[in-house]
């Protein structure tokens, strides 16, 4: 009799402990941490655009990571006066966990398709970009994800000249790697002189610095420090006009320093070039180029925002 009482008591205790363990191990809230990024998209008007948003989540299995639970999704500025509808096609988790303030987070990537189809060249800039998610359970998530430059162009063709060299240089700040400049080589493919007037990065957060240099002897090991310290021929722009003259079949390589408004990591962007050909002003766009990959992007745990939503 006593034996059965002891067994029964032990079983009840085990069940109680298990229940308490399950309750304590199931997070009460969904927590999300966003890695701020500088999103830059330049594509042709007929292209459908995708945007991948990395979000750290404390739960892998919840309504937050189920695309079928999302009723409505859109990108917007803070006031939501400007917005783009998006469709969250897929949410996948990377095989990686990060510990932030005693909680473990998994990296989820929200693959979104932008539901916007202009018929002409257009350009938008969101200095503060928000991802808004309305879920079927009435939860509304509004998370700042960074900033965005969104450009639509009619073509990427450059009939008159060839981009003979393209490479970026990098620098490290706050344990992260940033693009500090780029080598661009231009070769005139036509039978007439071309005058390159302006080079613009199709990202409102980035600007070309004033200290543009022509590189007489280029090699793949040339760094930004080499350009800054060696004797060099600095370009003297005339009234913000570069005035780079290219004779037929002539090739010239330049180093363009890059400046940032806000230090967000950006790894690829498109370039716009204004030039004169046969006394006619023309514009061409270089397709988005992936300059570098930082394989280990650092998280500054003091500067992140943790969003919390009902479980």
Q: Given the rule CB under 8 A, which residues bind another protein?
A: 35, 54, 94-96, 98-99, 107, 156, 158, 162-170, 175, 177, 185, 187, 189, 220-221, 267-268, 287-299, 301
**Residue in the structure block whose two tokens are 């613009």:** 200
Q: Which two tokens stand for residue 230?
A: 């060696």
Min dist CB 98 to another protein, Å, is 6
Nearer to another protein, 13 or 247 (CB): 247
Min dist CB 298 to another protein, Å, is 6
Min dist CB 25 to another protein, Å, is 20
Nearer to another protein, 54 or 237 (CB): 54
**Residue in the structure block whose two tokens are 């003297």:** 236
Nearer to another protein, 222 or 276 (CB): 222
Nearer to another protein, 185 or 237 (CB): 185
Min dist CB 91 to another protein, Å, is 16
**Residue in the structure block whose two tokens are 């229940």:** 19
What 8-state DSSP symbol labels residue 24? Answer: H
Min dist CB 46 to another protein, Å, is 15
Min dist CB 33 to another protein, Å, is 11
The answer to whether residues 164 and 253 touch, using CB atoms and an 8 Å cutoff, is yes
Nearer to another protein, 241 or 301 (CB): 301
Q: Which two tokens stand for residue 114?
A: 């932008």
Nearer to another protein, 98 or 195 (CB): 98
For residues 48 and 52, what is the distance between their CA atoms, to the nearest angstrom? 14
The answer to whether residues 282 and 161 touch, using CB atoms and an 8 Å cutoff, is no
CA distances from 94 to 63, 106, 134 (A): 18, 7, 24
CA 80 to chain centre: 21
CB atoms within 10 A of CB 258: 22
Strands 213-215 and 251-260: antiparallel
Nearest to 55 by CA among 132, 133, 107, 101: 107
């Amino acid at each position: 009799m006593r034996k059965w009482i002891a067994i029964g008591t032990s079983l009840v205790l085990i069940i109680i402990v298990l229940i308490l363990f399950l309750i304590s191990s199931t997070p009460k809230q969904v927590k999300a941490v966003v890695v701020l990024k500088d999103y830059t998209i330049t594509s042709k008007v007929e292209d459908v655009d995708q945007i991948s948003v990395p979000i750290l989540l404390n739960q892998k299995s919840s309504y937050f990571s189920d695309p079928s639970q999302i009723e409505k999704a859109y990108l917007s500025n803070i006031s939501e006066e400007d917005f783009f509808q998006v469709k969250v096609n897929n949410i996948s988790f990377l095989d990686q966990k990060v510990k932030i303030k005693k909680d473990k987070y998994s990296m989820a990537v929200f693959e979104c398709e932008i539901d916007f189809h202009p018929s002409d060249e257009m350009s938008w800039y969101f200095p503060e970009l928000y991802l808004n998610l309305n879920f079927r359970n009435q939860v509304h998530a509004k998370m700042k994800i960074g900033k965005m430059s969104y450009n639509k162009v009619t073509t990427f063709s450059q009939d008159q000249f060839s981009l003979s060299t393209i490479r970026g240089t990098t620098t490290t700040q706050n344990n992260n790697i940033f693009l500090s400049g780029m080598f661009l080589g231009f070769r005139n493919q036509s039978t007439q002189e071309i005058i390159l007037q302006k080079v613009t990065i199709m990202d409102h957060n980035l600007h070309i610095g004033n200290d543009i240099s022509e590189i007489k002897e280029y090699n793949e090991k040339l760094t930004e420090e080499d350009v800054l310290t060696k004797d060099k021929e600095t370009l003297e722009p005339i009234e913000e006009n570069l005035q780079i003259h290219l004779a037929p079949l002539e090739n010239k390589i330049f180093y363009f320093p890059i400046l940032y408004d806000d230090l967000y990591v950006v790894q690829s962007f498109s370039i716009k070039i204004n030039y004169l050909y046969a006394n006619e002003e023309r514009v061409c766009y270089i397709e988005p180029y992936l300059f570098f990959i930082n394989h280990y992007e650092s998280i500054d745990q003091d500067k992140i925002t943790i969003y919390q939503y009902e479980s």
